[in-house]
Structure formats: C-alpha cells, structure tokens
C-alpha cells in the first residue's frame, strides 16, 4: 500500500513524494468508555492503515487529496483557526482532522511546512476502528519528518487528541491516538490513561483477531458520545459529596460504588456502574493474559459487551446479534463491540485454526438474521505509525 500511495501521489502531482507515512487503526479488547474517566484500557493497533505520501511546498498551504473520497481541498496554514479552505468555504468534515493536527502542532511551536499530500486507507470509516486517529497520526509523523523535528510519541498522541477534541469537536480520550502511535506487532497494549504508563502484552499464542463490521456506521461527533461523557462527569460530582477525594470514576472501587450507588439518579447510576466495573475488568484481564488464561480473558470480553449493552447503552441490535452468534461458533474465546458503539464492529478472539470456519459461519448467520452483509476481517496486531523520508 505504501507503493500504491506513492503512485497515487505521482499521478496527482507529477513528482515523487518526499515522505511516505503509515498509521494503523486499532481495536480495543477491553476498557471501553473508560479512557476519558482516567481508566486503563487494552487496545491493539491492527494491520489496517492510513497511507500517506507528501512533499513540501514553498508556500504556507496544505493541498490535501483524500483519494478514497475523490475530494481535494487547499488550506491556508496561517488561517487554520477559521476552519475554511483557500476559497473561503467551510472545510469539509474529512479535512478537519489533518487541519486540526496542523493547528495543534503549530500551537505547540512545532514547524508545520506547507505540503501537497495524498492519502488512502483500508481502515473502514465509521466502523469504530479509529480511522480518524490513524489519519491524525499519519499526518503528525509526516509533518514531523518534513519539519525536521522529533517529538516523543506520547506528546504526538496528546497533540492529535487535542486536534480531535478542540478542533474537530469530538471529546475523545487518548486511547485511539496512543494505540496508533505506540502499536507493537503481536501485542496488546495495557495503557493507564491517568499515569500514561503502558506495557506491551503478548496476545495469546495460537489466536487471531477477527473483526466483524456490522455495516452500520456512526458519526461519532454527532452521536451521544459527548452525552455519555457528561453523564460520567455528573456521577463524579454527586459521588464527591460522599467521597470528597475522588477526581474521576477511576477513584471509585466496585465496593465503594455499591455503597453509594443509591444516591445516583438511575441513568447516571448505570453509566457509572459500567465504568467502575469495566476498569476492574481490565485490571483482572491483564492478570489473566499474563497467566495464559485465554478462556477466562474471553469471558471478560463477553461481560464487557453485556455492560456496554445494558448499562452504558451504546450497543445496537446488529452488534448484539454478532456477539451472540460468536458464542455458538467453535473456536471463539470472546467477543464484544469495539469502539464507541452506536454501530461499527465487534472484535472476536478466535483460535487461529478455527478462523477458516468461524469467519464464513459468522457472516452467513448474520446475513440470515439481519439481511445485512457483514464484512469480516482477519487481523494481526501491528506496529505503530511511522514515516520514511526519500524520493523515488
């Protein structure tokens, strides 16, 4: 795909690119909707990527061509605050992500040279696999190379998150950008979003990650994602009356939650219960990974999905059907929705020698029950984003 995007750049601009970059999407095995509550998460970068080719320009413009959409825009880099293109029109939604990265890098006093860029992706859009974070990470490492500076990967993750939070307007946590920039091949990433400590944990030997795309996409910025975040904030405010020292739901143990849950309104209580118990699930699941208890780990995945469905209420019937089908198929150790929910994908941990039967079995049963054609992907845990300088 790097060779493909290089060819696309030559076709579009008639010259070789000066830099190529790639950034992976991600799945989250456990720890959903806890990253903005200071909780630990367990994502893995996957071998589906955004691929980018770029060359510097002599002026302060970014000429961006989104190949998959067939759309192009030119942005004045000295007018990023206005969120307009060179002609004065509003930036299209897809362009807010690279423009937001340029804006965040410039605010951090990092060199953001003018560029011509082409990018393409095999990360499904709107499927909960963090295609937006992959776009952000790819542009961040490309500008890093062209700008001649070096940044710590965690710093880049924070800047990409700032782009998404403050420029695009999605109140996401840090997990997606972290995973895209820090991925380790063959490993899940335990990431403590409060301390920023992280550890690469080998995925179970003899297993594979199978992603099932429900075919129902969602626009995260216009979903109830931000509402869920506000509900968590409200839960903390109320619980602080009884636990003055807490700063987030991360500070509430399951035992403490049981003691004070009755003081929360019913909806707020359900949201907080999911977060508190999901944080505990991640911590216990990490111990299971270290001990090689794959089936117990898979059971935590199923429990996490039930919580997202019943307490956090971010699942949809199609995702529930995919998870229930997986239970009946040989070789599946665990399954759950991955990403923010409201559509998108499930992640299935499957015995590798059973994937040949599992994948068509899941697809066929889903078609029979919903009339929808699920796209099924066999994935591997991937290395994080990288860029390479050099023409030709």
Active site residues: 176
Strand order in the sheet with 332-338: 332-338, 345-351, 207-213, 375-379
Any residues with CB less than 8 A from the CB of 154 and at least 6 apart, and which? 178, 181, 182, 196
Nearest-angstrom CA–CA distance, 301 and 21: 33
Give the C-alpha distances (Å, rounded to integers) separating 374 from 50, 321, 346, 364: 22, 11, 10, 9
Q: Where are the beta strands (DSSP E) in 57-204?
A: 61-66, 71-76, 115-121, 187-192, 198-202
Residue 192 exposed, middle or buried by CB count within 10 Å (0-12, 13-18, 19+): middle
Backbone φ, ψ for residue 152 (5° rounding): -60, 140
Terminal C-alpha separation, the chain: 15
* Cβ proximity of 206 and 196 under 8 Å: no
Q: What are the tokens at 218?
A: 């969602």
Nearest-angstrom CA–CA distance, 304 and 29: 9
């Amino acid at each position: 795909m790097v060779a493909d995007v290089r060819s696309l750049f030559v076709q579009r601009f008639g010259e070789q690119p000066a830099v190529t970059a790639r950034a992976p999407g991600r799945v989250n095995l456990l720890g959903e909707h806890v990253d903005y509550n200071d909780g630990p998460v367990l994502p893995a970068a996957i071998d589906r990527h955004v691929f980018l080719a770029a060359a510097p320009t002599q002026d302060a413009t970014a000429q961006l061509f989104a190949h998959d959409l067939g759309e192009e825009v030119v942005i004045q880099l000295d007018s990023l605050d206005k969120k307009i293109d060179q002609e004065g029109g509003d930036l299209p939604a897809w362009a807010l992500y690279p423009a937001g990265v340029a804006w965040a890098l410039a605010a951090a006093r990092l060199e953001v040279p003018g560029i011509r860029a082409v990018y393409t992706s095999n990360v499904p859009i709107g499927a909960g696999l963090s295609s937006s974070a992959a776009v952000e990470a790819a542009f961040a490492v490309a500008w890093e190379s062209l700008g001649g500076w070096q940044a710590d990967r965690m710093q880049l993750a924070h800047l990409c998150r700032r782009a998404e939070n403050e420029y695009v307007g999605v109140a996401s946590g840090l997990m997606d950008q972290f995973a895209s920039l820090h991925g380790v091949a063959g490993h899940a990433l335990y990431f403590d979003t409060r301390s920023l400590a992280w550890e690469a944990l080998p995925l179970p030997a003899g297993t594979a990650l199978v992603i099932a795309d429900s075919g129902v996409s969602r626009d995260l910025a216009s979903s109830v994602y931000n509402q869920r975040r506000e509900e968590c904030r409200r839960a903390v405010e109320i619980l602080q009356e009884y636990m003055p020292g807490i700063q987030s739901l991360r500070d509430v143990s399951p035992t403490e939650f049981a003691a004070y849950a009755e003081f929360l309104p019913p909806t707020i209580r359900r949201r907080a219960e999911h977060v508190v118990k999901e944080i505990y699930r991640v911590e216990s699941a990490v111990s299971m990974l270290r001990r090689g208890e794959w089936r117990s780990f898979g059971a935590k995945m199923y429990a996490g999905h039930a919580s997202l469905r019943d307490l956090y209420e971010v699942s949809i019937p199609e995702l529930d059907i995919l998870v229930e089908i997986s239970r009946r198929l040989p070789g599946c150790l665990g399954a759950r929705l991955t990403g923010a929910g409201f559509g998108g994908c499930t992640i299935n941990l499957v015995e590798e020698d059973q994937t040949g039967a599992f994948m068509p079995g899941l697809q066929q049963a889903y078609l029979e029950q919903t009339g929808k054609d699920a796209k099924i992907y066999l994935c591997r845990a991937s290395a994080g984003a990288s860029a390479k300088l050099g023409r030709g």
